[in-house]
Amino acid sequence: MRGTRSAAVRPTPEPVPSPASLDTPVVILDPDSDDVVIRVVYDGPPEAGKTTSVRSLAGSLNRPVFTPDQVEGRTVFFDWLDYTGGLFEGHRIRCQVVSVPGQATLAPRRRALLADADVVVFVADTRREQVGALPGYLQGLARILSRAEGPPVGLVLQANKRDLPGAVPVSDLRQLLGGAGLRVGIVESVATDGAGIRQAFVFAVRLALDRAREQLRGGGLPAVRPQVASGEDLLAELRASESGALDLAPGERLTHTRLAELSLAGEALGEALAADQTPQAELGRMWEPEPGGVRTPLPPSSTVAGGLVWPPVKGRLTLHEANETELVLERQEDGDWCGLAGDRFRLHSPAGASFADLEGGRSALIEWARIHSGSLAVVSGDRCIALAEDHGRTFRLWQVVRAEPSLAERLDEAPSLVPREIAAVLVECAQTFLEAARLVPQAACRLPLTLASTRAFRVGAPYVGLMPAPAFTRPPEPCSAAMAEELLARELTPHLRALAAHRQPVAAVLDALRHDGPAGRACAVVRKLWAAI
Amino acid sequence: MASEKDLMDAIHKIEADISSFIAASFVDLESGMTLAAKSNRAEFDLSVASAYNSEMVKQKLKIMKALNLKTHLEDMLLTLGDQIHLIRLVTPGTFMYLAADRTGTNLAIVRTAVMKHTTGLF
């Protein structure tokens, strides 16, 4: 839709084309101006402040906004802002900023505009009465964006209306979104007076450039003249592709988008694309020995240069979130550096992960990224690795992992429960652990499976622990049922000892339980272990 | 991170301290995009200047790396025929760029004013 590699948007028999029918959205290089062209799309619920944000940004950048039509003050097509600034690999960056319409009747138009995004700024009204529907809306948006081919499309949550009473604290927002499995960068804003607007925009541009850089690495930016170079072009293109199907919609009844409707619409767009496939990179040189000295290293920041964080877009979002809370770093006896960012992220940098030069660090980063990408089915997704500049112009490799509830934490809480609940927790933990032991050999390296590194509640990939550093990785080995039970016995026995006071009533409950299949096996293992103590 | 308003306030204070102030901006080093900017001369394209100065800072950092210098880059002073340009890194990923007319100020004043009003911003 953005370049002339293929013809202009082709008229189709359907009234509105699905995004999949349009050209693949990618960052392009305009051969005439030598500019890199990126598309920043402002999305969000009705009256959240999309248009206000784009206009505020335009005022800040001293650029005009093109708005084709409005009905009752509401956007019918889009707002368009064109801004050229910054440099990427020696090319000027031309930002095409587009906001989408919010009405339910115009949802197909919104999706068509989102299909061309290199990054999305999601503007949300963050007052308490509005945030409940946010996770559902964002999940729908994430499903739309996951259809984009090529590197992932970044998502920034512009938490708007922070000046109004009832604005939910950012920590609560994080908890809400984290609970829904959403990873987005959050920037607070008050669009009406311009606060936070420019920051959200520049952060979004960074994410779009991460996408461009990944594209560059995978084969380069296509040098094509942009099909859409102005708001007028985009309007003409939309009109041509819609064949007038949506012209009457706003006139009929200008209803605001209901979140549930949009969420369902998002679902209808289909399944996400196949899992990311990181290109195989050349093996870098092995890790250098740690130079002397115990000065606390500088942790990774979301401003880390492109190419020094993996995964490229989501990784920067993870760092952005981790940077928002106070970080405490400690040096372990073995020389490793460990840290906690609030209670949400764990940071770790092995003793040998300091590099005297950038290239050495980058080789290690690529090597480690390859191990991570080969373990996606097993390892929790909320994590990244980054090469951070350290003191004295050295570089240090870090992994940042979201702290997920583990089986060990579940078992630590068990003594305060009643016998029936304790029995249920024991069986659940045993079953989860045995399943994890079956899956973990699918990772690209051997993972240290423990109760503390296994996710509780059996949702998502089971391994939530730290990844071993490349220098310490060993090939995965198969884990038979007997080996898994032996490992479980070693891990679970201390917890069973801690529950000795509850032994009789819990054992009685366990004896009365009648499970089949994996749960039955787990129950039998727990009974056996308890009897052996 | 400081808001655009905070950054503009800092620019205004620097402008008040430097009588021959021409333009100033806070720039994101990675992208070269301005976070806040003010120019008193219409012909002075601060967006372009900021973008290319980000390349200059990156090149300087690369030079330091090539020379294996174990220190950090604090600021860069450039003297033109009739202007003074100062670039000061306010964070590892953000710098301030300032241009002033040489006739009304000198390097020391410019440097002092920028340091005074950008310290502790981020």
B55/A392 touch (CB, cutoff 8 Å), yes or no: no
Pick A202's closest partner by Cβ from B28, B64, B91: B28
Instruction: Please give the backbone phi and psi of residue A278, each rounded to the nearest 5 degrees, phi first.
Output: -75, 130
Percent of chain A with pLDDT over 90: 29
Interface predicted TM-score of the whole assembly (ipTM), two decimals:
0.86
CA gap A10, A17 in Å, rounded: 9
Pick B33's closest partner by Cβ from A205, A303, A392: A205
A85/B47 touch (CB, cutoff 8 Å), yes or no: yes
Q: Where do we find the tokens 């995978």?
A: A218
CA gap A184, B5 in Å, rounded: 24
Pick B70's closest partner by Cβ from A90, A196, A393: A393
Taking each continuous run of H as one helix and of E as one strand, the counts in chain A are 16, 16
> Which pair of structure tokens corresponds to residue A300?
């990774």
Q: For residue A406, which amino acid is it?
A: S
- Residue A253: the pLDDT is 44
CATH number of this structure's domain A23-245, picked from the four choices 3.40.50.300, 2.60.40.420, 3.30.465.10, 3.10.180.10: 3.40.50.300
Rg (CA), chain B: 14
CA of A89: which chain B residue's CA is closest?
B55
Would the pLDDT of B10 be above 70? Answer: yes
Entry pTM:
0.66
Question: How many beta-carbon pairs below 8 A join chains A and B?
Answer: 83
What DSSP state is assigned to residue A506? Answer: H
Residue A72 three-state SS: coil
- Residue A244: the pLDDT is 61
What DSSP state is assigned to residue A194? Answer: T
Q: CB of A407 within 8 A of CB of A433?
A: yes
Nearest in space to A317 (alpha carbons), one of A203, A197, A189, A178: A203
Q: Which residues of A touch B94 (CB under 8 A)?
A: 303
Q: CB of B78 within 8 A of CB of B53?
A: no
Please report, for chain A, the start and end positions of each structural domain, with discontinuous segments joined by +: 23-245, 309-402, 407-532
Would the pLDDT of A11 be above 60? Answer: no
pLDDT tens digits, A381-390 = 889 999 998 8
Contact status of A205 with chain B (Cβ, < 8 Å): yes
Q: Which residues contact B43 (CB under 8 A, 6 or more apart)?
A: none
On the 0-12 / 13-18 / 19+ scale of CB atoms within 10 A, A169 is: exposed
Three-state SS string over A343-400 comes to CCEEEEECCCCEECCHHHHHHHHHHHHHHHHCCCCCECCCEEEEEEECHHHCEEEEEE
CA gap A453, A449 in Å, rounded: 6
Most B CBs within 10 A among A309, A313, A319, A393, hence the mutation to make, goes to A393
Would the pLDDT of A59 be above 90? Answer: yes
Contact status of B103 with chain A (Cβ, < 8 Å): no
Architecture of domain B4-118: 2-Layer Sandwich (3.30)
CA gap A391, A293 in Å, rounded: 11
What DSSP state is assigned to residue A466? Answer: P
A87/B36 touch (CB, cutoff 8 Å), yes or no: no
CA gap A120, A204 in Å, rounded: 7
pLDDT tens digits, A244-267 = 655 555 544 444 444 334 433 333
Rg (CA), chain A: 26
pLDDT tens digits, A455-467 = 988 778 899 999 9
Distances (CA, A) of A475 to A40, A231, A283, A380, A472: 42, 54, 16, 19, 10
Q: Which residues contact A284 (CB under 8 A, 6 or more apart)?
A: A360, A362, A363, A364, A365, A366, A367
Nearest in space to A219 (alpha carbons), one of A138, A151, A135: A151
Specify the DSSP element, H or E, that contains A235: helix A231-242
Selection from A3-12, A66-75, B113-122 with the highest mean pLDDT: B113-122
